[in-house]
Structure 1
């Protein structure tokens, strides 16, 4: 029996599913005695350091947890569960950590995108039984803005490079903790969990461990999910956002089946965009919740869900916040939530006053779950102008002239599935969303959607140059060469595709094979 310390933040369902897939049973901590009586304790943490420590103290978990650690009993901390072991964090000045490891938690101060999101390697500094069965050159999934800085290196198990070299896992006796997420790191991550769960085993140093590691570019499979005319959830794909063909919704497969196929083919992440219009309230849209729960049982890479993450009042007058909606998705297996049309409306309200309210969906979700959990999905279209002075927006000079020979354009944000344009450009939207707490930008392009003509590199460069958070390129991929083009001609951290994967015109494995030796990827 494995004991899980779930303090109520983030996606612990995937951790439970991963442990159960290895043949173990999981019980969840309900009081301090459950911690003290555990045979093996797993502590996955997601969100903000201060909020985590506040909850641990309020639930009277902190002191039993310190006693368990000091007794040198089997412990695995994940992400924030690693950071909790330290004395303090720059994320929450004045808040005391567990203090089991001398040192502090620091924010990345680097010339790269923060958060550090994606698949990176491990440089092994000392042998450990958790490396049994690993090659050493494998990559693991990271998502964090802060890293641990031990006062001495005696407990450092591995290091990872991202603008600086940081401790990516530690081991002190039977206490092990990782900054990466084993439950989201595919086969290699499951092997790490298996090694921890099994008793005994010799400490080994895996072969081919690099001295320096490199963050991989991510290939993301996107599934647009909606109800067809019979009410069944299907994966569909639009051409410039029109998902109907001969009057019917295009049906390209079942969401759970396709997600598992993409995981097995090597997708680095899977994104679900729920494009069904909610008639009442998203938490009553149980089929989509069920899709997440079923997918997370067999898909051990990050899952993002978008659609309907906003404030609601149901037919009985009960009010639900966007945070309530996001929490349900996280508890059902999502690692990140994607906010689309409502991000446009939030930014428009911000621009009226220039003041952050702390109450927007972006701010609330980022405060509780961390900015790495909030993705902004932008749906812009080109608007051509004769001169930059014609509009108040961020204008670029384009190599693709407009219908009247215009040499300039701006990217107009849209809402309602691209049906309504707004007086707001994509560059401004991205900048403001970063300020409000978003951790990633999913950059679609209506003009390129379904064309198979390649990504809009000008749009990507314009937005990527305006923010310091990661950007996901989307819309227009038609061949493996387009992925190489976007990674070599822009600084986008990842690229997303849908239709070419659904129709198996360009399988994910073919994209990975083409990029190998050209771009750093996870193989």
Structure 2
């Protein structure tokens, strides 16, 4: 008997490979929607997506899918929207005023305020159930499922959409809709295909049309969980290893010699991504050499071209290093004024299409010790870990090209569209003596996006220390 077929509506942005791999792991075949008739004839339709609301709606309109998709959903056929695929079901989004959504669910999608929150909302959070659902059928009824989110915009529960609300989730003081359900129509703000075993079981329940069950935590508020990310440094001269790094909330592959290479020739890295995404259902980040370049045939490839290839191979996020430093310097110099996307920085190119949540800026600061805070405009007093000779004052210089060159600049890529900062203190790298808490606190106070601390962890207490310490920083969550 052939495997059941799921039609996937791919609007061209995001990691669709991981969804297809998850469907395959559950025993289903996937087929891309290529024409209106595919939507009309589908028995199960999944609409995943990340990125820009207007671009997604433009895709649906250009391909004449809007009416067919609305008719499919209103006919109560088996449908699942994921992330942006859920947001398009609402009337519109403040991300793109004047651009109508499908208008199936009442309400508008709004951005999380960044005054007291790190935005995007990235990481593992819980769900509070308000209905019974097939997606809970393969979960323990008493479980408190934790799933993966990555988004800046959210829909809020209200009296007009109450009948649609399946689950809600809390982020800071805000409660938002994390899943909706009406009959056979389900949509999630979280990514089940990236939520490990729990996410796969939710997908299984939807695909099977299982009998609905109720979770026990209907009124429980949820909380964003701290993340532990496994970073695998990789060199083209070394043997690749795509084995699962057990217990990690996310996995990142960083090519430490990529500044010497042409990114689209990095076949081993692409192979690692493709193999990993077939077996590992947590978020995958790839970094190293994500930049525009001209190949040996004089053909010009943009940073967006390079990123698109990695996304198709299974990446969920792209980490940009040296190129981000160059972009930030150009931004401060007033050079980032182009309206042609191919002439914009790599950060702007990728975030415009895939959303800022898909762009991680990796910075490698090292300490430059000085005698006092007056010795340099960016000098600070160290309050936690002094220098090897007891130095109490320093400023931080960002390193580029694998640590071979230094740049005198602050961390400043958020305005260009970065969604996350990967902060790797060169002085702490490989020391196993704890994180540079002073640096982490400085950066968190300067940006509104999430900050990932890297370099220095040598034992479990270092993780608990950094999580406890940053709560005291005068910054966002």
1:224 maps to which residue?
233
- Aligned CA distance change for structure 1 residues 181 and 492 (closer, same or farther; 3 Å): farther
SS of equivalent to 2:279: coil
SS of equivalent to 1:99: coil
Whether 2:69 is the aligned partner of 1:65: answer yes
2:196 maps to which residue?
186
1:433-472, Cα deviation, whole Å (9 max, x unpaired): 1111100000001111111101111111111111111010
- Aligned CA distance change for structure 1 residues 375 and 491 (closer, same or farther; 3 Å): farther
Given that residues 486 and 492 in structure 1 are in contact (C-alpha distance below 8 angstroms), is that contact kept between their aligned partners in structure 2? no
Measured in 1, the distance between the counterparts of 2:334 and 2:123 equals 35
Measured in 2, the distance between the counterparts of 1:287 and 1:464 equals 35
2:442 maps to which residue?
462
Q: How does 1:48-447 map to 2 (within 5 A)?
A: 48-109=52-113, 111-135=116-140, 136-149=143-156, 151-163=160-172, 164-199=174-209, 201-208=210-217, 211-228=220-237, 233-234=238-239, 254-257=240-243, 260=244, 262=245, 265-277=246-258, 279=260, 281-353=262-334, 355-357=336-338, 359-393=344-378, 395-402=380-387, 406-424=391-409, 428-429=410-411, 432-447=412-427
1:398-436, Cα deviation, whole Å (9 max, x unpaired): 444446654211111011111211122xxx22xx21111
Q: Report how many aligned residue pairs link the two structures.
A: 460
SS of equivalent to 1:218: coil
Whether 2:47 is the aligned partner of 1:43: answer yes
1:492 Cα shift? 10
Measured in 2, the distance between the counterparts of 1:46 and 1:171 equals 20
Return 213-222 or 273-282, whichever deviates more. Answer: 273-282
RMSD: 1.8
1:389 Cα shift? 2.2
Given that residues 319 and 360 in structure 2 are in contact (C-alpha distance below 8 angstroms), is that contact kept between their aligned partners in structure 1? yes
SS of equivalent to 2:428: coil
- Aligned CA distance change for structure 1 residues 54 and 423 (closer, same or farther; 3 Å): same
Measured in 2, the distance between the counterparts of 1:297 and 1:281 equals 25
SS of equivalent to 2:235: strand
- Aligned CA distance change for structure 1 residues 210 and 152 (closer, same or farther; 3 Å): closer
1:388 Cα shift? 2.0
Measured in 1, the distance between the counterparts of 2:275 and 2:214 equals 36
Segments of 4+ moved more than 6 angstroms:
none
Given that residues 40 and 68 in structure 2 are in contact (C-alpha distance below 8 angstroms), is that contact kept between their aligned partners in structure 1? yes
Given that residues 105 and 161 in structure 2 are in contact (C-alpha distance below 8 angstroms), is that contact kept between their aligned partners in structure 1? no
- Aligned CA distance change for structure 1 residues 5 and 492 (closer, same or farther; 3 Å): farther
SS of equivalent to 1:465: helix
1:29 to 26, 33, 45: 33
1:20 maps to which residue?
24
Measured in 1, the distance between the counterparts of 2:384 and 2:202 equals 49
2:10 maps to which residue?
6
- Structure 2 unaligned residues grouped into runs of 5+: none
1:215-274, Cα deviation, whole Å (9 max, x unpaired): 00001100001023xxxx43xxxxxxxxxxxxxxxxxxx4202xx1x1xx2210000001
- Structure 1 unaligned residues grouped into runs of 5+: 235-253, 494-523
1:478 maps to which residue?
458
- Aligned CA distance change for structure 1 residues 396 and 213 (closer, same or farther; 3 Å): same
1:135-157, Cα deviation, whole Å (9 max, x unpaired): 33020000000011353311100
Given that residues 356 and 436 in structure 1 are in contact (C-alpha distance below 8 angstroms), is that contact kept between their aligned partners in structure 2? no
Give TM-score scaled by structure 2 length.
0.93
SS of equivalent to 1:10: coil
Measured in 1, the distance between the counterparts of 2:361 and 2:472 equals 15
Given that residues 122 and 210 in structure 1 are in contact (C-alpha distance below 8 angstroms), is that contact kept between their aligned partners in structure 2? no
